[in-house]
Chains A and B, each alone.
Chain A
Amino acid sequence: MQFIRRHQLAIVLVALVAFGLIVALVRYWAGIGAISNLSDAYPWGLWISFDLLCGVALASGAFTTAFAVHIFQLDRFRPVLRPAILTGFLGYVMVIVALLVDLGRPERIWHMIIFWNPHSVMFEVGWCVMLYTAVLALEFSPLVFERLRWRAPLAIIHRLTIVLVILGTLLSTLHQSSLGSLFLAMPRQVHPLWFSAFLPLYFFLTAIAVGPAMVILESSISSRVLHRGLETDVIGGLARAIPFALGAYLAIKIVDLTLANKWAAAFRDGMSALFWIEIIFGVIAPMLLFARSSVRHNPSRLLIGASLVIAGIVLNRFNVSLIGWTRPNEGWYVPHLLEFAITFGIVSAGVVAYGLVAKFLPLFADEPAPAPSPAE
């Protein structure tokens, strides 16, 4: 029974991947316009808002968890580290795949390595994402090496771990915030309620908040689908960080809006409503929820709280980059169904990959304790 359900899920996922591939082929043959509603008025759409902005933010579980485990050496989070890194790694790979669809000239993606423009935030984002994906790949590689029983490389990686994690954290800090900085160049396009010199900080803080939330979500789902136990206390512990990050975010936002004298915009139109939804459901509610230990110790409440954080961030990224984003020229954008096909295809591929890793690699094996000395 369970098998059939899993089997069915796999079929659906693979079908979605296949469909996405076909759509991508059409895009490569006939141009982005053939499969999307992107236009000169809306050059960025679903893929940038969701696949890139949300994708990167939602993959932040990797760096936050790695930070907790390796830098703060909070060993109790070790059980969720590998899945978090896998989620992060897959997330970044998905981002890159999405970019390969979204970029006008995907075959030139490597240009960013040789042509430099240090004024460009995107330049920084590009490099960070590239390097960080490499870092994640390395952080993830022990699973492969363990499986293959390649001891030498494993040993090297273990030695390097702390360096990798520091580097990863640094890179993540940089590009998580830079994704916000991307929009600093658009004071007129981004809605006043969201435009701020603090955009990079906002993006960073919300990324920190959503990291644990993603780990919670991912653990909850995988525990159900893959029938393993849920490390409730572990993820509950992670959740402790969320109110701090969101609290900082909220406090700065309030001061910011007050100083910039923008509160009027918060009581005007549909965008104001979205703003409040974002703040109340995406920030205040999870803060209150996760502040309570009863929530932190209850799997389904944890899941609810995490979902709110995630939804809040997704909404935030959309508000900044799409919904509240206006153009000097007229035009309106609703994603084309085939754009969703790409996004679903990529997400499905990620899920399938996760499943395969879980099946074939020691994903839920505990991350070994820090560098065992040869003497042991």
Chain B
Amino acid sequence: MSRYAMLIDETRCTGCRACQVACKQWNDLPGEQTRNRGTYTNPPALSAKTWSMIEFNEIETGDKVGFYFLKRGCMHCEHPACASVCLVGALHKTPDGPVVYDDSKCIGCRYCMSACPFGIPTFDWDRGLLNNALIRKCEFCVDRVSNGLIPACAKSCPSRVIAFGEREQLIAQAEARIEKNPNKYIKHIYGKDEVGGTSMLYLSSVPFDQLGLPALGTTPVTALSEQVMEYTVPFALAWGATLAGVAAVVRFRNRGKRIVENEKSET
């Protein structure tokens, strides 16, 4: 279990996007050229230049409208698929919680992107060989956290939506909030158990899938693939031995045959 987490209480969020901009500021990310596509959500999706963003969801039920905001970004999974699948181990989960990236190892295979159940890692599509194309995603402001500061997004949030702290305590805090305002909250802490738990914990007043967080089970998505990898060496040894055995048996038998044949021909 990682030590730190962030509790994001979306019922407090006003969609002001201070967090989105603060993330760019702290991480020195450039602004993207965008256009208005009939929604406030912008840029349209996470990208190498945008590691965290607010998604605006307008939900109509009957003649009631709801307007909900989701802070999207890396979940810092307890069992991060991205780290599990990265062949060179460029990504890893620190004991403190952040899933961080060693950009000097990455070969750019983008398996992490494909595997992440939340679709988080992004890539520098517009960078060539000379421009250091890399995978990009939120790194939980590990540079701040490891220096005793809280993440930039949490720091900037004017409505104090984002609480940073010890994961266990935040879960307790989230449970207390749900208990205190049972009518306000969905009785579920998203991220507590999803895909084996994440360091981002969410509270919401609408079902999480409506908010845009996928319904995922509680098993880490890489459970199977890691199991397969565990069996690989024993399997390889066994299979290698079997093949050698088969080859030997066949040879042995065929040698017999050949000798007989040779004898026949000699006679």
Contacts and interface: CB of A to CB of B under 8 A. Distances in A.
Given A104-B109, A189-B114, A111 B88 contact: yes
A73 B254 contact: yes
B211 interface: no
Contacts of B243: 71, 166, 169-170
A261 interface: no
Contacts of B204: none
A112 B110 contact: no
Given A174-B236, A185-B224, A104 B247 contact: no
B113 A184 contact: no
Interface in A70-90: 70-73
A181 B230 CA distance: 12
A32 B45 contact: no
Instruction: Name the residue in A29, A118, A184, A197 with the highest tally of chain B Cβ atoms < 10 Å from its Cβ.
Output: A184
Contacts of B232: 124, 174, 178
Contact of A112 (B107, B133, B222, B240): B107
Contacts of B240: 166-167, 170
Interface stretch (B115-123, B142-150, B153-161): B115-123
A73 B222 contact: no
Interface stretch (A288-296, A325-333, A351-359): A325-333
B178 interface: no
Interface string A154-182: 00000000100111011001100010011
Nearest to A162: B247
A5 interface: no
B250 interface: yes
Contact of B124 (A29, A31, A107, A118): A31
Given A31-B128, A119-B229, A109 B81 contact: no
A112 B88 contact: yes
B247 A70 contact: yes
B196 interface: no
Contacts of A106: 107-108, 129
Interface string A25-51: 001111111100011110110000000
A121 B109 contact: no
B225 A181 contact: yes
Interface residues of A, number: 63
Contacts of B117: 186, 188-189, 328
B46 interface: yes
Interface residues of B, number: 60
Interface in A95-122: 103-109, 111-112, 115-122
Nearest to A173: B239
Interface in B94-138: 105-111, 113-115, 117-119, 121-131, 133-135
Contact of B106 (A105, A169, A188, A329): A105
A112 B111 CA distance: 14
B106 A170 contact: no
Contact of A185 (B127, B128, B134, B221): B221
Looking at B105, B115, B216, which has the most chain A CB atoms within 10 Å of its CB?
Answer: B115
A302 B128 CA distance: 45
B87 interface: yes
B16 interface: no
B254 to A, nearest CB: 5
A330 B244 CA distance: 49
B52 interface: no
Interface string B64-93: 000000000000000001001111111000
A116 B109 CA distance: 14
Contacts of A329: 45-46, 119
B106 A108 contact: yes
A312 interface: no
Contacts of A40: 45-48, 113, 119, 121-123, 125
Nearest to B247: A71
A103 B87 CA distance: 13
Given A27-B128, A40-B47, A185-B225, A103 B119 contact: no
Contacts of A167: 240
Interface string A119-151: 111111110000000000000000000000000
Contacts of A335: none
Contact of A121 (B123, B225, B251): B225
Contact of B109 (A41, A122, A187): A122
Nearest to A126: B87
B259 interface: no
A200 interface: yes
A328 B214 contact: yes
A171 B121 CA distance: 31
29 contacts: A29-B129, A31-B124, A31-B131, A33-B125, A40-B46, A40-B48, A40-B119, A41-B119, A43-B114, A44-B110, A71-B243, A71-B246, A104-B106, A104-B107, A104-B108, A112-B88, A119-B225, A120-B84, A120-B111, A121-B229, A123-B88, A162-B251, A165-B247, A166-B247, A181-B228, A181-B229, A182-B111, A186-B115, A328-B214
Interface of A: 27-34, 38-41, 43-44, 70-73, 103-109, 111-112, 115-126, 162, 165-167, 169-170, 173-174, 178, 181-182, 184-189, 197, 200, 327-331
Interface of B: 45-48, 81, 84-90, 105-111, 113-115, 117-119, 121-131, 133-135, 214, 216, 221-222, 224-226, 228-229, 232, 235-236, 239-240, 243-244, 246-247, 250-251, 254
